[in-house]
Amino acid sequence: MVPKPLWLLAELTYRCPLQCPYCSNPLDFAGRRFRNELSTEEWQRVFKEAKALGVLQLGLSGGEPTLRKDLEVLVRTARDLGMYQTLVTSAYRLTRDRLAALKDAGLDHVQISIQAADAELSDLIAGTDSFADKLAAYRYTKELGFPLTVNVVLHRRNLHQVGDMIRLAATLGAERIELANTQFYGWAMHNRSALMPTREQIAAGWEVVQRERARLGKSLEIVWVLPDYYEEFPKPCMGGWGRAYMTVTPAGEVWPCHAAGRITTLQFANIRDRSLEWIWNESDAFTRFRGDAWMPEPCRSCARKTVDFGGCRCQAFLVAGDAALTDPVCSLSPQRGRIDEAVAEVEQEPWTYRSASASRTSSPILRG
């Protein structure tokens, strides 16, 4: 029987005032594939069909989702459907009035990113002065009674600040801080050698997390997303392909995760052509790696296949060159050497900021 989805990530737009070099958006976000954004009515249809399929958790993301002027309308629709909604925002130019309107429309939870623990480094990494706006938005969020998650993507240039980030989140009154070590997709893959942390940095960061967890107890939930290149076994990516999760991109393509669109050997359906139910149950992108019949060795005979589902298909595609192989992060993968090489290659070159102009010159698809 086909499992039912629980999670929908709605990437409402790929427009974004920030230029973070580790962005998980596609390298070709500025291209034709994503430009013709879904209308309000089309998103409302997506939400209704998602709820009917079983989705209970809705992420409103991007790009910068608050650039959509109809965000309040979309939030109200999803609330009427009974979905729990999280806004994932950079908080750039986000006003108290806007947040209050979103609260009124039924938004449940706000996640605001910071790029580092201080303005100078945070703004440098974001490529856009935004830290002051973020601090203001944290305050508004708490004043309005939202549960708040502080998000940070960790990499070589900010891992030394893990303790300061946690203390900042605690001071702001956040319920959660997500310390997500960079996963190498999208722009992060493009900038991999400029972002790759050292093993010592990871160990030091993890030590701080354990110490702060003991100190802060239940008052702040500290989520540490493992840097999978340093792991022995792959992550159980998305809890299994096509099992619980889907992403709808700004122009209506539906992906099994927010990075899957890069896999050129899959065919992605669009909600403008098909129902979400058909896409989830029948489309090539969702059925290809669902279950375990597709698995090659060493996964096929491995006891861990029900634990990690063979790891990440996008990583297999990006690093090993074939989405149907074992995640190369796995120590049992014949391709593990490629991960070890990437870890060894720590480069001091500057990174490429995520921008529309860089999208046109960096993306193999747009460059032609």
Partner 1 sequence: MTAPLAGTVPRVAPKARLEWDEVRQRHVLLYPEGLVALNPTAAEVLKLCDGQRAVTQIVETLKQRYRAEQIEAEVATFLSNLAAKGLVTYVR
Contact residues for partner 1 (CB under 8 A)?
4, 6, 52-54, 56-57, 82, 84, 86, 108-109, 145, 147, 149, 175-176, 218
Q: With CA atoms as reference, report the closest residue to 190 among 31, 22, 17.
A: 22
Cβ proximity to partner 1, 145 vs 368, nearer residue = 145
Compute the distance between CA of residue 62 and CA of residue 112 in angstroms, rounded to an integer: 13
Structure tokens at 149: 């998650």
User: Using an 8 Å Cβ cutoff, are 327 and 333 in contact?
Assistant: yes
Cβ proximity to partner 1, 19 vs 113, nearer residue = 113
Shortest Å distance, C-beta 148 to partner 1: 9
Compute the distance between CA of residue 199 and CA of residue 205 in angstroms, rounded to an integer: 10
Cβ proximity to partner 1, 37 vs 178, nearer residue = 178
Shortest Å distance, C-beta 6 to partner 1: 7
Shortest Å distance, C-beta 146 to partner 1: 8
Q: Ramachandran region of residue 145, left (φ > 0), alpha (ψ -120 to 50) or beta?
A: left
Shortest Å distance, C-beta 275 to partner 1: 15
Shortest Å distance, C-beta 55 to partner 1: 9
Cβ proximity to partner 1, 88 vs 339, nearer residue = 88
Shortest Å distance, C-beta 324 to partner 1: 30
Compute the distance between CA of residue 71 and CA of residue 261 in angstroms, rounded to an integer: 24
Shortest Å distance, C-beta 199 to partner 1: 28
Structure tokens at 4: 């039912």
Cβ proximity to partner 1, 93 vs 176, nearer residue = 176
Shortest Å distance, C-beta 125 to partner 1: 24
Lay out the sheet containing 254-255: strands in order across.
221-225, 176-181, 148-154, 109-113, 84-89, 57-61, 7-11, 245-248, 254-255
Tell me the C-alpha to C-alpha distance, in Å, between residue 186 and each of 177, 261, 362.
23, 10, 11
Shortest Å distance, C-beta 58 to partner 1: 10
Q: With CA atoms as reference, report the closest residue to 44 among 87, 6, 88, 80.
A: 80
Cβ proximity to partner 1, 88 vs 320, nearer residue = 88
Q: With CA atoms as reference, report the closest residue to 228 among 317, 325, 154.
A: 154
Q: Ramachandran region of residue 274, left (φ > 0), alpha (ψ -120 to 50) or beta?
A: beta
Cβ proximity to partner 1, 52 vs 226, nearer residue = 52
Cβ proximity to partner 1, 109 vs 262, nearer residue = 109
Compute the distance between CA of residue 66 and CA of residue 88 in angstroms, rounded to an integer: 9
User: Using an 8 Å Cβ cutoff, are 248 and 46 in contact?
Assistant: yes
Instruction: State the pairing for strand pair 109-113/148-154.
Output: parallel
Cβ proximity to partner 1, 88 vs 295, nearer residue = 88
